[in-house]
Structure 1
Amino acid sequence: MLAPREIDEYILPTERRVIRVRVHWSTLLWDMTQTALALGLLVAIQRYVPASLVLDNLTWYAGLVVVVRLTIIVMLWWVERIVITDKRVMLSTGIITHNIGMMPLGKVTDLTFRRTLTGRMMGYGTMVIESAGQIQALNQIDFMPRPEEIYEALAELIFGDKKQTRSHLLSKPKR
């Protein structure tokens, strides 16, 4: 599994990591709900259907598949990282096939974020990063945690005064 420090191997010696976050945990809610409902259904089948060896085996293996599925989804969420350096934005995903989407900050022409009512209540938003004339590998990040904080840091890196940006970012704690 990709540890947080291993994502730093993709950072060049000439750049500095500013922000490293994981996609918001609320992306797991639907999968956890499905797992709970499936396990509840399997328990109900075990309880209310007459016992048989075949049924016991089928429900046990179905429960195992449901739990393994959720485990894999949580592992994929765990390794997915959003990394912002002073030169680029990267999205790292995948366990077996590792993918890194990247956009240089010099190509960014517009930066916006959106928050739904649910996003405001739970603390996530969607960050849209646009570049001149082409769709980049990384143009929209859904379920970005603390979007205002990240938006301000990115805007300062992209559009702010370079001297002020460096001193301001050095005083902020890294996450």
Structure 2
Amino acid sequence: MAYPDDLLSRGERVTLHKHPHWKVLLLPGLWFVVIIAAGFAVAALLRDWEYHRIAWIVLGVAGAVALVLLVLVPFLRWRTEHFVVTNHHIFFRTGVLHRQEHRIPLIHIQNMRTDVSFLGRLLGFGTLIVESAADEPLQFANVADLPRVQAQLNQLIMDDRDHYRAGPPA
């Protein structure tokens, strides 16, 4: 899902658009396999029972509810979470029903820190902590390819600051 271009100001272009790292989908994927396997196993065990049709309906409803809560909802959260870097801002947008967005102008970023666990180093993800002039530090968890993201952000921040120092063209 692309980031909406109508949210960008004139002359602003997206240089990086990411969703959280794929590792956040491992647990929902595991739940999917477990729920489907358990449903088939219980249905097979109940097939000779006198009330197996009612049991299958109950099992199907319970399985559908479990799939929605444990698989579909985390997938939708992953899909609707955007980490976007433009040539002027950092955007962090999340939410399925209730949308939340943080927008930080690059010129206001004072410090960036990263937090990468051992597993994060192996799989290529980490947390980016951005400190700006006005807000408390924002944490962007599960950012994939964090060193490249940080290098690109550093370059864009330097370019943005050079642009403002130079002033408008004569």
- Same fold at TM > 0.5: yes
Q: For each residue in 1:97-141, what CA deviation from the matched residue of structure 2 results, as whole angstroms up to 9, or x when unmatched?
A: 3322212222211111122121122221111111246316xx111
Runs of at least 5 residues in structure 2 that lack an aligned partner in the other structure: 164-170
Matched with 2:167 is none
Matched with 2:59 is 59
Aligned-pair Cα RMSD in Å? 2.2
State the 4+ residue runs in structure 1 displaced beyond 6 angstroms.
none
Q: Distance in 2 between matches of 1:81 and 1:67?
A: 24
Q: What is the deviation of 1:10?
A: 1.0
Matched with 2:166 is none
Q: Distance in 2 between matches of 1:72 and 1:108?
A: 33
Q: Does 1:38 find its partner at 2:35? A: yes
Alignment of 1:4-43 (within 5 A): 4-5=2-3, 7-43=4-40
Report the count of equivalent residues: 158
Q: For each residue in 1:116-172, what CA deviation from the matched residue of structure 2 results, as whole angstroms up to 9, or x when unmatched?
A: 121122221111111246316xx1111101101000011122246737xxxxxxxxx
| Secondary structure, counterpart of 1:106 in structure 2 | helix
| 1:20–1:81 Cα contact (<8 Å) kept | yes
Q: For each residue in 1:15-46, what CA deviation from the matched residue of structure 2 results, as whole angstroms up to 9, or x when unmatched?
A: 23221111111111122222322333333322
Structure of higher CA gyration radius: 2
For 1:17, the aligned partner's letter is: V
Matched with 1:169 is none
Q: What is the deviation of 1:85?
A: 1.2
| Secondary structure, counterpart of 2:37 in structure 1 | helix
| 2:28–2:75 Cα contact (<8 Å) kept | no
For 1:113, the aligned partner's letter is: T
Runs of at least 5 residues in structure 1 that lack an aligned partner in the other structure: 164-175
Calculate the TM-score normalised by the size of structure 1.
0.78
Matched with 1:94 is 95
Q: What is the deviation of 1:54?
A: 2.2
Matched with 1:47 is 44
Q: Distance in 2 between matches of 1:77 and 1:118?
A: 19
| 1:39–1:66 Cα contact (<8 Å) kept | no
Identity of aligned residues (%): 20
Matched with 1:157 is 156
Q: Distance in 2 between matches of 1:71 and 1:133?
A: 36
For 1:145, the aligned partner's letter is: A
For 2:122, the aligned partner's letter is: M
Matched with 1:107 is 108
| Secondary structure, counterpart of 2:98 in structure 1 | coil
